[in-house]
Amino acid sequence: MNRIVTICVALMFCLLACTTTPTHDADPTRTWSVYLGDHGSSQYSSLTQINRSNVDSLAVAWSYTTGDADSAGRTQIQTNPIVVGDVLFGVSPRIKIFALDAATGQERWTFDPFASGAVAEGPSILRGVSYWPGDRDHIARVLFTAGARLFALDAATGVPIPSFGDDGSVNLREGLGRDVTGLSVRARTPGTIYRNLLIQGTSLSEGPRSAPGHVRAFDARTGAMEWIFHTIPHPGEYGYDTWPEDAYLRSGGANAWTGFSLDQKRGIVFLPTGSAAFDFWGGDRKGENLFANTLLALDAATGERIWHFQIVHHDLWDRDLPSPPNLVTIERDGMTIDAVAIATKSGHIFMFDREMGTPLWPVEERPFPASDLLGEEAWPTQPLPTAPPPFARQHFGEEDITDIAPENAAYVKEIFKTARSAGQFVPPSTQGTMIFPGFDGGAEWGGSAWDPTTGLLYVNSNEMPWILTMVELNPDDAASGSGLYARYCAGCHGSGMEGNTDQSSPALLGLRDRATREEVAQQILRGKGFMPSFGFLTEDEVARITRLLFGEVNPDVSEASATDEDMERLSTAFAGSPYGHTGYNRFFDQEGYPAVKPPWGTLNAIDLSAGQIVWTVPLGEFDALTARGIPITGTENYGGPVVTAGGLVFIGASKDERFRAFDKDSGAVLFEMQLPAGGYATPATYEVDGRQYVVIAAGGGKMGTKSGDTYVAFALLE
């Protein structure tokens, strides 16, 4: 009998250990309880157990495989996991949320938001989750998004909390101030917790029909919306006069998709926004377009604007602010200044006083060319900081054409002659315009790492030329399958259905051999992966597109003979965007290498107090080029760095699928290891029971590399 009682007590303690709610660590720089490390998005750790002297002894401590990668290479993991106490919370390629023992990788629970059918859209990506610690009357919870729904799970069990929203979730399409039925509304980056509020942004379609990107705060206990900030201002609001009068009823975008930074002491949330939609033609949104492409400082409790700075006026280049800003402290003229710094896709660092929004380095409004597209009025100037200097090249001229081999240079030169390439902020054209350093940076969504002990900011950068070519649409063909495809599909899948250059948007040629008509129609309506939903299309319009994709258009039957209602709706839409484009096309040589001289990817250390770049090194390697005697070139890279008090910068990101540690003082590589798939995510480092771990999601799937579904944690050998 005593033995039975002993066993029961032991089982009870085991059950409690497995379901105990994790608690916050007293020192946030020793764990990783918030997306990107802390509320200031520092991506910094004060841990020193792993350091310069022993980092070459790192070994795999544990790995966890989610089991749901796509064998076709079209899933990714961009997640920066969080660690609360001894529990790690992460996300799988198909948006299953899980909790692991952070010391062993042993699974505690999983939750699939798509299993119940509550989420109508297809799985996309999710860069992380938020943790609310609870209060006297409410249990701790994990908050995250899937499709257009915001979920709250019991942090101990992974079970949805029925009292939150509608039986555990909130519909993000509701409460935006206008009908967005059928439009894509998702959130790929976790929200920020302030007291009992979850401040949340969204990811939207960037095409000609888009929802507004308003930022909202939800009660973490109930799911009720507590405040909203209109990033496309309504009548009577600041910035309303920077748009056409009716823009708030029809324009989209200007969304805070990257996540936020929070000054808890001052109660200020800093949010960066993206471009207004449509990305590349703004004739229907003439004006500066506040608050698109803007760093906003809001009262975190109320959503009231404190200050703002618009970094791109009337964006025509998809120059979204790509990551949360860093809350930093710098020295200037013997004074200590609390500041906010943000890196841009164009390769610049803007810095502002945290309370007043005053630029800490002079910002100049410089003139740029006008547009020659029908109806477009490009803004005549753009702001550029005078310091620090750009961390990416600003111009791709003929002298910058690749030099890895004469035949490569000759190939590139012929294509180069056909496009406009005159530096930053040259408007899109039907001739073709060079976008450099690229649609994906300069800086990207992985964020920058700020070291408060040295005053250095570490940012990885891409230097990849892309060619954007606009196409004038034919309004007489608006309702046909080909017209609908040109408007809604060609920008990602190519005008000839060839897919984009890294196959993240796959070729649609031969689609009838890979999918049924019903499957294609459902994907058009629901979206999947990076493809947004097009639920606003009618059943007949979806059928026309599907027939085109399946090569079943009867040339004797004109699809353009649509109903009057069809034509009225489509002509209204076309009036708002008379152009499409041929896709997001990287400019490669004939071997598939970037068309510009190396380096193609870099890691940079920037002294923010002095406004100077301290060092720059290549990030990533093409082994085939190294074998040919070409110095290390760097590669295109996605996912950010982490800097530690142990003297290290940890980063994956590179196309060669390796994980590295750099000396933070010199940029020397001190450790590297091959991952099972590309580590296109920002790592995390934390301590459990006195042992330091570094973990990264190896999800692959970008730049044409294979997909993976493994989290790999490193530690020193015991």
Any idea what DSSP says for residue 163?
T
Are 339 and 261 in contact by the 8 Å Cβ rule? The answer is no
Dump pLDDT digits (tens) for 454-484: 999 999 999 999 999 999 988 777 778 887 8
Q: What are phi and psi for residue 32, nearest 5 degrees? A: -150, 60
d(CA 165, CA 186): 17
Q: Show the tokens assigned to 59.
A: 């070994």
pLDDT digit string, tens, across residues 672-689: 999 999 999 999 999 999
Q: Residue 639: which region, alpha, beta or left (left: phi > 0; alpha: psi -120 to 50)?
A: left
Tell me if residue 119 falls in helix, strand or coil.
coil
Question: Mapping DSSP to helix (H, G, I), strand (E, B) and coil, where does residue 328 land?
Answer: strand
**Which residues of the chain fall short of a pLDDT of 50?**
1-20, 25, 555-562, 567-575
Tell me which residue of 391, 553, 421, 423 sits closest to 484, measured CA to CA: 553
Check residue 575 and give its pLDDT. 47
Q: What is the pLDDT of residue 474?
A: 83
How far apart CA 381 and CA 135 sit, in angstroms, is 50
DSSP 3-state of 54: coil
Strand 44-45 and strand 642-644: the pairing is parallel
- Asked, colleague to colleague, whether 44-394+436-464+598-716 and 474-576 share their fold, the answer is no
| Angle, vertex CA 165, rays to CA 164 and CA 168, nearest 5 | 55
Q: Which pLDDT score, from 0 to 100, does residue 3 have?
A: 44
Residue 667 pLDDT: 98
Give which of 524, 542, 544, 520 is closest to 534, Cα–Cα. Answer: 524
- Per-domain residue ranges of the chain: 44-394+436-464+598-716, 474-576
User: Alpha carbon of 121 to those of 148, 178, 190, 205, 707: distances in Å?
Assistant: 7, 20, 18, 13, 21
Q: What is the structure's pLDDT at 1?
A: 41
Contact predicate 281/389, CB 8 Å: no
Q: What backbone phi and psi angles, to 5 degrees, belong to 530?
A: -85, -5
Record: fold of 44-394+436-464+598-716 = Methanol Dehydrogenase; Chain A (2.140.10)
Q: How far apart are CA 711 and CA 698, in angstroms?
A: 6
The residue type at 625? L
Q: Over the range 562-590, which residues count as b (16 or more CB within 10 Å of their CB) and which as e?
A: beeebbebbeebbebbbbbbbbbbbbbbe
Amino acid, res. 197: L
The pLDDT value recorded for residue 660 is: 98
Q: Say what the pLDDT of residue 225 is.
A: 98
Q: pTM, whole model, 2 decimals?
A: 0.92
Quote the pLDDT of residue 537: 82
d(CA 176, CA 236): 17
The DSSP bridge partners found for residue 352 are 340, 359
Which 3 state secondary structure label does DSSP give 625? Answer: helix
- Phi, psi values for residue 12, rounded to 5°: -65, -45
Please report the DSSP string for 558-607 in residue order. Answer: -TT---HHHHHHHHHHHHT--EEES--EE-B-TTSSBSBPSPSEEEEEEE
CATH says 474-576 is which class? mainly alpha
Strand, coil or helix: 456: strand
